[in-house]
Amino acid sequence: MVGRIAFPIFCFLLVEGVGHTGNRVKYAARLAVFALISEIPFDLAFHGMPLEFSYQNVFFTLFLGLVAMIGCQYAEDADLNQIVRIFLEILIVAMCMGAAEFLKTDYSAKGILCIMVLYFFRRNRRMQILAGCLVFFWWELPALIAFVPIALYNGKKGWNLKYFFYLFYPLHLLLIYLVCWAMGIGGIAVV
């Protein structure tokens, strides 16, 4: 349940991050690297084996969401007819959703949709929260709790703990695996 509440916050922070980053390519590379680093602890925690390809960790979803946002930003910045721009944005989002489904990422295409809903409403916090609640309501009801701290966000940068949270994800998964191993079970999915 905690992860289900955390995901909308990750999506929101990803949208905020793309708007504030000085280098989108480095941001995407960092997410890709942590997706790869996190995969072994993720597979150990959920499947009890170091590499299992039926389900990928949330960093892959966040990476694809970032790719979709960057693609849509390029489409927004290009001198295109509005209909062409909208078509291009739909195509970019659909391709990233398809990639998430193909790679079987955590939250899959729905995760990309959630990221993009928050992205498209990023200029109006109330509408962003309303749209975010609506999109999560139809499939992940506990996630609505996440919109309380999102609503309280003041738009200012907090403590610089970026790498703590990047590292927390694979380390907490490794800890979960070790607890499962000590209990004699193969992983969370086995429970």
Residue with tokens 């738009």: 155
Residue 160 vs residue 24, higher pLDDT: 24
DSSP states of 94-123 as a string?
Answer: HHHHHHHHHHTBTTHHHHHHHHHHHHHTTT
pLDDT tens for each residue of 89-133? 999 999 999 999 999 999 999 999 999 999 999 999 999 999 999
pLDDT at 180: 83
Backbone angles phi, psi at 139, to 5 degrees: -145, -10
Tell me the domain boundaries of the chain. 2-190
One-letter amino acid of 48: G
Mean pLDDT in the chain?
Answer: 91
Of the chain, the percentage scoring pLDDT greater than 70 comes to: 95
Instruction: Work out the pLDDT band at 190, boundaries 50, 70, 90.
Output: very low
pLDDT at 191: 41
Instruction: Work out the pLDDT band at 167, boundaries 50, 70, 90.
Output: confident
Nearest to 39 by CA among 25, 52, 22, 26: 52
Whole-angstrom distance, CA of residue 48 vs CA of residue 162: 28
Of the chain, the percentage scoring pLDDT greater than 90 comes to: 65
Instruction: Work out the pLDDT band at 136, boundaries 50, 70, 90.
Output: very high
26-30, 55-59, 83-87, 136-140: which has the minimum mean pLDDT?
Answer: 136-140
